[in-house]
Amino acid sequence: MQIAYLMNTYPVPSATFIRREIAALEALGLSVRRCAVRRWDDDLVDPADRAENEKTGYLLDPGAARLAAMALSEALRNPRGMARAVAGAVRLWRNAPRGAGLRHIAYLLEAVHLKRLSGDCQHLHAHFSTNTAAVALLCARLGGPGYSFTAHGPDEFVDPQASSLALKIAEARFAVAITDYARTRLALAGGMGLWDKLKVVRCGVPVDALPPAPPPAADAPFVCVGRLCAQKAQTLLVEAMAGLRQTHPKARLILLGDGDTRPQIEAAITRHGLGAQIELRGWADNAAVRDALAGARALVLPSFAEGLPIVIMEAHALGRPVISTYIAGIPELVDGETGWLVAAGDVPALEAAMRACMDTPPEALAQMGRIGRKRVEAAHDGMQSARQLAELFGNGRQGGANVGGRGSR
């Protein structure tokens, strides 16, 4: 079976899980055509990401004039399909905030190019329910392949009316949620009448490639992995480290990632005099992330908003406990047996959890990690998730559901 995958920006350091998902599907015998709206502007650190860049077709690469010419040609050759797509774009626009008209014209142009790139693919799968799902919907209305999408959260669920989430679910062959929590958010958006269309397929990691590490060393640091941004709240982690230093002066923290809030984080480190305790390493490739987690006391992720971060699965697979926040799908994997959960934004609670981790003997931390690894093996093995997706793609192709797409003919 040949399928197409659609992403917004791909490859990117924060979307390694998509690359792994595609590789797992190909290992099962599926042929996957990579499509993305745009390229990643910065340098790609990981060699595997650089290889993916060469395999990906980009919707915006032809430029506005060429995309407009493609749309005109499509309208002349396929007037009925274009009429359906235009009607779909108008529906998406009416639900969106004022001033979003140009965006939906862009979606329509991108959908025309996507139809060409997807070629003879039998199914199209979009990651995230935002602009990529909108483009997939319009492509299906043009007569392109039937589509599905994976919803991760948290931004996707903020304003489902404005993003036409109910329409995207209704016209999809099915929709995938990465957690039970995400499935409930999709059901709230689309209505319980669409419940059977909503499937939970948990994101996976290559468990066999993440062997459990030995118990952490006495001086092992905390590690935080992720884009430096407001929703991941690394600035509060600096505040917690300032308090932790009073009782545990040897505590250390390594931050892997980069982003908008780096200046604030650096300023907080300077303000508290934590330059010797906190290290900012920037973006790292997969091997460096794996090595940092394997050498950590625990992964700490103080986020305000998440879906269920892949790095939590990686930390548990490597036998490390996790300190995180009680939000979205995180409690579906992390609890008191495998780490510590605190309220988002509660710096004293975060500091207390880190202090408790510092006071926990290495072997006890390793036992928490072993329990976490068993959970990842049971629910987040990448090949297991790929098999679930492959079955859904096959069933979706047989059943069809799209308005105007191949599946409805």
pLDDT tens, residue by residue, 252-264: 999 999 999 999 9
The pLDDT, as a whole number, for residue 347 is: 98
| Same domain flag for 178 and 259 | no
Output the average pLDDT for the chain. Answer: 94
Q: What is the pLDDT of residue 81?
A: 98
Residues 128 and 239 in one domain: no
For residue 175, the SS3 value is: strand
* Amino acid letter, residue 358: M
Please, which pLDDT band fits residue 399 given cuts at 50, 70 and 90?
low
Query: Residue 155 carries which DSSP code?
Result: G
Q: Are residues 237 and 368 in the same domain?
A: yes
Q: Are residues 239 and 180 in the same domain?
A: no
Looking at the structure, tell me whether residues 183 and 48 fall in a common domain.
yes
Residue range 27-54: mean pLDDT, rounded: 93
Indicate if 221 and 112 belong to the same structural domain. Answer: no
Is the model's pLDDT at 408 over the cut of 70? no
State mean pLDDT over 167-175.
98
How far is CA 70 from its chain centroid? 31
Query: Are 66 and 84 in a shared domain?
Result: yes
pLDDT surpasses 70 at 272: yes
Q: Bigger pLDDT: 154 or 36?
A: 36
The reply to whether 169 and 253 lie within a common domain is no
Q: What pLDDT is stored for residue 101 in this prediction?
A: 76
Query: Do 100 and 115 belong together in one domain?
Result: yes
CB 192 within 8 A of CB 146: no
Q: Based on the domain organization, do 214 and 355 belong to the same domain?
A: yes
Contact 381/151 with Cβ under 8 angstroms? Answer: no
Task: Name the CA radius of gyration of the chain, rounded.
Answer: 22
Q: What is the pLDDT of residue 51?
A: 94
Question: pLDDT of 117-165, one tens digit each?
Answer: 999 999 999 999 999 999 999 999 999 999 999 999 889 999 999 999 9
Domain containing residue 266: CATH number: 3.40.50.2000
Give me 39's structure tokens. Answer: 């390229």
Residue type, 367: Q
The domain in which residue 364 lies consists of: 208-379
Strands (E), 270-347: 278-282, 298-301, 322-325, 339-342
The residue-averaged pLDDT of 283-308 equals 95
**238 within 8 A of 208, measured Cβ to Cβ:** no
Q: Which residues sit opposite 147 in a β-bridge?
A: 124
Residues 310 and 402 in one domain: no
- 238: pLDDT strictly greater than 70: yes
Name the E strands within 84-179. 123-127, 147-151, 174-177
What is the phi-psi region of residue 71: left when phi exceeds 0, alpha when psi lies from -120 to 50, beta otherwise? alpha
- Per the model's pLDDT, the better-predicted residue between 7 and 399 turns out to be 7
- DSSP letter at 18 equals H
Q: Tokens 């050759």 label which residue?
A: 77
Predicted confidence band of residue 352 (pLDDT cuts 50, 70, 90): very high
Assess whether 231 and 247 both reside in one domain. Answer: yes
Using CA atoms, how far apart are residues 278 and 13, in angstroms rounded to an integer? 22
pLDDT(404) > 80? no
Residue 401 has pLDDT above 80, yes or no: no
The string of DSSP codes covering 179-241 is SHHHHHHHHHHH-GGGGGGEEE----B-GGGSPPPPPPPTTPPEEEES--SGGGTHHHHHHHH
**H/E run at residue 363:** helix 362-379
**How many domains does the chain fold into?**
2
3-state helix, strand, coil in the chain (%, to 5): 50, 15, 35
pLDDT at position 304: 96
Check whether 45 has a pLDDT greater than 50.
yes
Q: What is the mean pLDDT of residues 275-297?
A: 95
Give dist(CA 229, CA 258) in Å, integer: 8
pLDDT, tens digit, 9 for 90 and up, residues 76-131:
999 999 999 999 999 999 999 887 778 999 999 999 999 999 999 999 999 999 99
Contacts of 152 (CB under 8 A, 6+ apart): 127, 128, 178, 182, 307
Predicted local distance difference test score (pLDDT) of residue 99: 77
